[in-house]
Structure 1
Amino acid sequence: MTQNYQMTDAEIDERFRVSGAKPVAFLLAGYAKTREAFSVHFNHGEDMFLTTLLEVQADKGRLVFDCSGSAESNRRIVLSDKVTFGGHPGGVPVHFSTGKAAETTFEGGKAFAVALPEFIIRLQRREHFRIETPRVNPLVLFARAPNGVLLKLQVHDISVGGIGVDAPELPEGVDLGVTMPNCHFTLPGDPKDLFFSATVRNYHEYESRTGQRMVRIGLQFNDLSNGDENRIQRYIAKVERERHELI
């Protein structure tokens, strides 16, 4: 197996983890719709074959995937207690594990089904340098949820490509792929707000240092001007410089 498939939970940054029944089903359904190819590993990683994700059956909580052309591989996979999938849809490494595989049929042909995983690891390419924003004088995002409710969310991290924001719970209507127009925030020391639309790319629950359950939402900037990107770059450089001066 490759190194990505051997990572332990402790080694995986939580922001790469897609968890929750609905986000997991949504993401895998997208891969199934485009018939993404994955390798499936079983028998403690000793055996594998290439497969295609075929369908997510959310009502049954299971994922259907194509069987192998090898009768022996098909026999051995149902004997394994754990099945691990790995692929590179869109050039982004994706990895998830689940329980036993069971024989089923799909569109008249033989296939396998497994329970939907608890989480998926999607090692997104880090095309932009990202920093955590200061807790003193934090950035605050203002946006409109799809139901029209005004959102005021503290920014946790920022790059030229997007931001991560924290919320006590996932706002109604906010989900993977949803785009929110007319978002804005103010950079400290900058008199002019940055206005943009943002698309939800990921979210996950976590426990804050005070023990409170929170949701962190990853948003991608869609339409920043070159000037606004430069303003963000200058802000990031300023924060980094101030942090190094404190060391």
Structure 2
Amino acid sequence: MSHPAPLADSDFEDRFLIVGQTPIRFMLAGYARDAVGFSVRLGTAETQFMTTLLGVDADKGRLYFDYSGSPEMNRLALSADHLVFAGRPEGIHVQFQTPAPVEARFDGGRAFSVPLPRQVLRLQRRESFRIDLPQARPVQLSASLPGGGTLSLPLHDLSVAGLGLTAGVLPETLLEDVVLARGRFLLPDEVQPTLVDLRIRHLTEQTARNGQRQWRIGCAFVDLPVAEEHRLQRYIVRIEHERRELLG
């Protein structure tokens, strides 16, 4: 499974990466003040636990966060290669990486402490980075239609907020605001399918380059599981990084 790679393109960084100790310190201190919940993944493993940011020490450049309720999970966290934090404060995807934690005290209680991250990925709800998927080897979505039957259409694009589909003919039951349940698609180089529920946001008729009429179907994810969101984000960042490298 792929993981986020360093990003070299300045426009991509300007739009989505928060850098600099001062803005990062204020951002994370605000999340701590609001008791925003974050998931913490231990290194490259799928093991994770939920935590709350407790506070920031500006002088030491340290972030404090709450212990897990599991002693075994706490032990694993201390020996992890690195940690990946992910949360959705006010519906905005926020993600950052730190070294393994050390044990600390915060307001008289036990806590974990890590150095402040060097950068924080922050995807605005209306600016979720979207990648076009290759049409030569299309990624196929399969989902249940309302009233029965199965929808099978190729993905046109993908973001952490949703995806776009392409169709030559629309099923009669495919309308705006309809929910497609039990959707699944397999991304290139992945061995496990991504499982999603989707809500239809728009249906737009277009003319393809060959003159044929087709439909673009915009879908938003419904209650996307955290594990699936992490996987999509890792894939999107990796593909965008590879594309930028090919462009020089």
TM-score range, shorter chain: 0.3 to 0.5
- Please give the TM-score of this superposition, normalised by the length of structure 1: 0.48
